[in-house]
Amino acid sequence: MLFVIDVGNTHTVCGVFAKEELLHHWRVVTEPERTVDEFGLLLGNFFTFHGIKPKEIKGLIISCVVPPMLPILEEVAEKYFHTKPLVVGPGIKTGMPIFYDNPTEVGADRIVNAVAAYEHYHHELIVVDFGTATTFDYITAKGEYMGGAIAPGIGISMEGLFQRASKLPRVEVLQPKEVIGKNTIHAMQSGIFFGYVGLVDEMVRRMREETRSDPKVVATGGWARLIASESTAIHEVDELLTLKGLKIIYQRNLPRKK
């Protein structure tokens, strides 16, 4: 079995693959102050609940955009799974050329998403990831990562309104029935929801115009399905895209059989 871990700024998502099948996956809050033993105990509980034994894990790969978390997880891998993890970063084989001014600046999760999407569709792509930040990544028909755009995420925007505007409450993000809100909560929900739908559709339109192409648009991340319900630009939603990409990259870095 293969254990994959994607550490984001807000959430950490883990999954266990048996060959090509994703057996189980979990999402927890990213807490850099969590100790090695605390993390080991947490994962152990997940494994026990689903009847998986740590010794069944034969490989482990980590994608991490929170630097303090990486050494913790590397120690967890060696202490509790007795394996040296593969870490997505400089020098790893992704199978995808990266045409960025400084390729090391690209978040590991963005590359992993791009690899997974291109492996599945083999088409020009725009990958929209609704995470802590909302990111847009363009991949050519040849499978080349060309770059993209980064905007504040939905959660950050909502929290910013709550913290910086003294009379505005913290509200649930959902699709309101009407654009014109008749009260403060509905007005905020409208602004966030339809504002991000507009953001996505306009960014995709401009990327298409700039590249003179017709890419397939794939969305992932916690808010993907909600925004895709109204967006005219998003074609597919794959909330597990990053986990699938980690499996692909792990397989591409296995030693070649002689």
Please, what's the b/e burial string for 185-210 (b: 16 or more CB within 10 A of its CB; e: otherwise)?
Answer: ebbbbbbbbeebbebbbebbeebbee
59 φ, ψ to 5°? -155, 155
Q: Give the residue range(s) of CATH 3.30.420.40 domains in the chain.
A: 2-87, 103-245
Q: pLDDT tens track of the chain, all 258 residues?
A: 999 999 999 899 999 999 889 999 999 999 989 999 999 999 989 999 999 888 899 999 999 999 999 999 999 999 999 999 999 988 899 999 999 999 889 989 999 999 999 999 999 999 999 988 999 999 999 999 999 999 999 988 888 887 777 778 778 888 989 999 999 889 989 999 999 999 999 999 999 999 999 999 999 998 999 999 999 999 999 999 999 999 999 999 988 765
Q: What residues act catalytically?
A: 109
Q: Are strands 2-7 and 59-64 parallel, antiparallel or unpaired?
A: parallel
Give the whole-angstrom CA distance, residue 222 versus residue 156: 13
Residue holding tokens 């007795």? 82
CATH superfamily, domain 2-87, is: ATPase, nucleotide binding domain (3.30.420.40)
Confidence (pLDDT) at 217: 98
Confidence (pLDDT) at 196: 96
Give the whole-angstrom CA distance, residue 231 versus residue 78: 44
Instruction: Name the fold adopted by 103-245.
Output: Nucleotidyltransferase; domain 5 (3.30.420)
Confidence (pLDDT) at 161: 80
Confidence (pLDDT) at 258: 55
Confidence (pLDDT) at 159: 83
Q: What is the DSSP string of the chain?
A: -EEEEEE-SSEEEEEEEETTEEEEEEEEE--TT--HHHHHHHHHHHHHHTT--GGG--EEEEEES-TTHHHHHHHHHHHHS-SPPEE-STT---S--B-SSSGGGS-HHHHHHHHHHHHHH-S-EEEEEESSEEEEEEE-TTS-EEEEEEEE-HHHHHHHHHHHSTTPPP------S-SS-SSHHHHHHHHHHHHHHHHHHHHHHHHHHHHTS--EEEEEETTHHHHHTT-SS--EE-TTHHHHHHHHHHHHTSPPP-
Confidence (pLDDT) at 205: 97
Confidence (pLDDT) at 147: 95
